[in-house]
Amino acid sequence: MKHMTLAEITRACRGVYHGDSALAAVEVSSVTIDSRKVVKGSLFIAIKGARVDGHDLIPQTMESGALCALSERDLGDAPFPYILVESCRQALKDLAEHYRRSLDIRVVGISGSVGKTSTKEMIASVLSQRYRVLKTEGNFNNEVGLPLTVFRIREEHEVAVLEMGISDFGEMTRLARIARPDICVITNIGCAHLEQLKDRDGILKAKTEMFAFMNPNGQILLNGDDDKLRTYTPENGLQPVYFGLGEHCSFRAEQVVDQGLRGTDAEFVTPDSRFSAHISIPGSHMVHNAMAGTAVGRLLGLTDSEIRAGIEALVPLAGRNHLIETDTFVIIDDCYNANPASMKASLDVLAKADTRTAAILGDMGELGDNWKALHREVGRYAAELGIQILICIGEMAEEIAAGAREAGAPEVCHYTDKQGFFAELDRLLKPGDSILVKASHMMEFPEIVERLQAKGGASR
C-alpha cells in the first residue's frame, strides 16, 4: 500500500501511540483485521466480532510479523508497539478515509437495491481494457469491507470500482466519506432492507446520500428506466446522466435480441456512436449493467471497441447468475442473496429455458412488516411465468408457495429446511431440467448447488 507511518496512522485515528518512538516513523506494509492475513510489517486492527475478539489475537499477530496493533484495550507495557483508540471500528473508517485522501485515483462508486455486484463486475471488466483496476471483492461493501478494500489500493492502480451496500440511513454517508467517488452509479430503487428504510422513498433517500461526499466536479449515472431515479434531482446540483432502454437515456440499448440462457445481443447507443456486442450472462438486467459499463467507459475515455471487448469478456461469478451445465441438469446458481426484485429477475432468466423449468427458492430477509405479501408476490410471479415446478424452502418461503398455488402453479412443494428437500430430490427433479437456485444469504443455498452438481454429473 502507499506509504503510511505509525505516527501518521496515530494522528488519523486520533489515538495514543505506545512503543519505541523510533518505530513511529516506520511505514506499515498492509492493514488487516484478519490475523490469518498478517504479513511482515502489517497493521493489525483488533475488531470485536460475534465469536472472536481480535484483541485476544494481538500477540499471535506480532509473532506473525505485524509491526503494530490498533487496540481498544490498554495493553500496558507491551513488548511491541500499539495504538490505543476509543473504537477500533471507527478507527478503521477514519484511517481508510485518510488513506483515500492521499490517493491520486479515480473512484467509481456503485449502489442500488439490485444488481450492485453484477454492475460492478461489468464496469470493472470494461475499464480493465485500458486501466489497471481494483474492484470490490466478495461482499466487502459495508462499513468494514469498504475500508479494507480501500487499503488494497496500490500506487499502480488507476481506477477503483467500489460497491457500496447499506441497510439503514446514515450508512451511505459514512461509506461515501471514505470512498469519495468521482463517478456515482445507482442501479435501481427496489424493495430491500425495508425493516429500516420502510419504503422505496426511504431507499432512494438512503442511497443518494452517496452524493454528499462525491467529487463536486464528478458525474452521477442513474438508471433512466427506474421511476424513482428518473425523477430524482440531486441536491448537489449535478445533472444526472441516464442509462437504460428509454429514448431519454443518453446511453441506451436498442435491437435487444434475447438468446435465452446463452445471453443477449444488443446495439449500444452513446451520444455520438453506436456498436453491437454480445452479453454472455443471461437476463434483461445484464443489458442495463452493460449500459452502465458503457457510460462509465465513455466518461473515462474508452473507445467503443474497448467497451465492446469489456462487455464480451465478462464471465459470471459463483452465486451470481452463474450458469452450470452438468450431464443431467442446467443449474442457474444465483444463491448469493435475494430480494423481491432480484427474485423476479432470476425467474425471468429461468423462464427463457427451452426445457422443463424448476425454481428452488428460499426465504428473503430484511423485508419488514410486509414480508408475507412480498413473498407471496414472488410466488404469483413464478406461476404467471409458467415455471413448471416450484420448490420453496424455509419458514417465510411458505408464503411463496401459497402465492404460487393461488395463481395456479402446476406443481408447488414446501419444505421447512433443506434436508426435507434433499430427501425428495430424486422424485422432484428430472433429467434435462433447468433449475434456478436462489435465496437470501442466510439460507446457505450453495449447499443445494453443490448437491445438484454432484447429482447432475460432470460439469461442461
Give binding residues for ATP as ranges.
112-118
Nearby residues of 192 by Cβ (< 8 Å), 6 or more positions away = 113, 114, 203, 339, 341, 366, 367
The helix or strand, by DSSP H or E, that contains position 94, with its residue range, turns out to be helix 88-101
* DSSP symbol at 9: H
Q: Are 28 and 6 in contact (CB under 8 A)?
A: yes
Q: Is the dihedral of CA 289, 292, 297, 300 positive or negative?
A: negative
C-alpha cell at 19: 512503543
* DSSP symbol at 26: P
Distances 347 to 279, 365, 382, 437 between C-alpha atoms, Å:
18, 18, 7, 10
Looking at this protein, which amino acid is placed at residue 279? I
Q: Identify the burial level of 89 via C-beta atoms within 10 angstroms of its C-beta, where 0-12 means exposed, 13-18 middle and 19 or more buried.
A: middle
Q: Are 51 and 118 in contact (CB under 8 A)?
A: no
Helices (DSSP H) in 300-439: which residue ranges?
304-313, 340-350, 371-385, 398-406, 418-428
Q: Are 349 and 424 in contact (CB under 8 A)?
A: no
- The Cα–Cα gap between 56 and 47 comes to 10
- The Cα–Cα gap between 376 and 361 comes to 12
Annotated binding site: 112-118
Tell me the three state secondary structure of residue 285. Answer: helix
Q: Is the dihedral of CA 43, 48, 49, 54 positive or negative?
A: positive
The helix or strand, by DSSP H or E, that contains position 257, with its residue range, turns out to be strand 251-258
